Amino acid sequence: MKIAIGTKNAAKINAVENICNSLLDNVEYVTHDVPSLVAIQPIGDMETLQGAKNRAAQACKEDNSDMAFGLEGGVKELDGQLYLCNWGVLKTRLGQQYIAGGAQIPLPDDIANSLRNGGELGPLMDAYTNQKGIRHHEGAIGVFTNGIVKRGEMFEHIVILLVGQYLRAHTNS
């Protein structure tokens, strides 16, 4: 089975590979640096989900893959508080689409205010932690859960939900 992953982000790639290797047989992976076609900092569930859909669709078109994954992280506002949000899409060569969302936690006010003023979470988290490339490793979720949940694990949960839906649909067909 050939699986395309619509990103070059290590946390997202590892999430797909870890889950698919444990649930599917004879898997080959290809990664594609495809754009999300949404804002660099997606705001809201709808925009973040659209980014995941766009990544999956574009990765699926790149080569003759059996399925493609698009994973997107963003932020959303609820009752005046900004939260992390994240979505994933699995798209098959035959046009089937499966959707899942993941963990959501509130962001500290200083990060939220910087985002509201046009900042992007990745660079803000690099400055906040005095590190580079946080989005490729523990991510904001890792920082704000004291390292208990890392970005890759957050996306693994989404990938499990996607593959579970796919397997259910293909087992009952």
Q: What's the CA angle centered on 119, arms 113 and 121, to 5 degrees? A: 90
130 burial level (CB within 10 Å; 0-12, 13-18, 19+): exposed
Q: Which two tokens stand for residue 69?
A: 């994954």
pLDDT digits (tens, 9 = 90+) for 38-49: 999 999 999 999
Residue 35: pLDDT over 90: yes
pLDDT digits (tens, 9 = 90+) for 87-130: 999 999 999 999 999 999 999 999 999 999 999 999 999 999 99
Residue 173: pLDDT over 90: no
Q: Is the dihedral of CA 28, 5, 101, 128 positive or negative?
A: positive
pLDDT band at 134 (very low <50, low <70, confident <90, very high): very high
Output the CATH code of domain 2-171.
Answer: 3.90.950.10
pLDDT digits (tens, 9 = 90+) for 56-92: 999 999 888 999 999 999 999 999 999 999 999 999 9
Residue 172: pLDDT over 80: no
Phi, psi (rounded to 5 degrees) for 171: -80, -35
Residue 165: pLDDT over 70: yes
